[in-house]
Amino acid sequence: MLHERAVFPRLVALKIMEHGSMSKHRDLTGPRPAGNHKELIVWQKAVDLALSAHQISATFPTFELFGLGAQIRGAAISIPSNIAEGAARGSAKELLRFLYIARGSCAELETQLHIAHKLGYLASASEIEKRVAEVGKLLTSIIGTLRHQVSKP
């Protein structure tokens, strides 16, 4: 059973090689310093995704400022925020819970971008949709590994 102390599972800090496959993972098991979420590839990519979503929503019609644009910005910010909050909680179980929330926000963002594209607010959503998919895959991979580690007796 995992203790409620600052524990970071091995696969949380996925290292992605240039061609996109996973290389060896940094071992972050054990006590970790505060702010370690900034070293996570998934957090870094999620922050970049949030910045892109903000830039895209700024091009929407004025009447969407507090509508779909705000929803997109909120979902996009929620992804790295939940990764950071889960990492700061200090237990693998809490991290897993917040990674699930981040993955849900990722799906929410994907849906909102699809709707924006259908409404004609985005000429092409393919680039940002690729980034959303990449973050979603990273989250799913980490969740799978972490879920396995948390369920170990």
pLDDT of residue 64: 92
Residue 2 lies in a domain: no
**Dist. CA 133–CA 75, nearest whole Å:** 14
pLDDT digits (tens, 9 = 90+) for 89-102: 888 899 999 999 99
Note whether residue 31 is domain-resident: yes
d(CA 92, CA 50): 25
| Cα distances (angstroms) measured from residue 93 to each of 12, 81, 90, 135, 143 | 13, 17, 9, 21, 11
Those residues with Cβ within 8 angstroms of residue 62's Cβ, 6 or more apart along the chain or in another chain: none
Count of C-beta atoms within a 10 Å radius of residue 11: 21
Range of the domain at 133: 10-151
When pLDDT is cut at 50, 70 and 90, the band that residue 153 belongs to is low
Is residue 86 a part of any domain in this protein?
A: yes
97 located within any domain: yes
The pLDDT tens digits of the residues spanning 55-89 come to 999 999 999 989 999 999 999 999 999 999 999 98
Which CATH number characterizes residue 130's domain?
Answer: 1.20.1440.60
Decide if 4 is inside a domain.
no
- How many domains would you assign to the chain? 1
**Digit-coded pLDDT (tens) for 32-50:** 444 489 889 999 999 999 9
Residue 144 clears pLDDT 70, i.e. is over it: yes
Q: 8 pLDDT exceeds 50?
A: no
Contact criterion met (CB below 8 Å) for 45 and 142:
no
Domain assignment present for residue 87? The answer is yes
The span from the CA of 151 to the CA of 7, in Å, is 15
What is the structure's pLDDT at 94? 92
Asked whether the predicted pLDDT for residue 22 surpasses 50, the reply is no
Supply the pLDDT for residue 31. Answer: 41
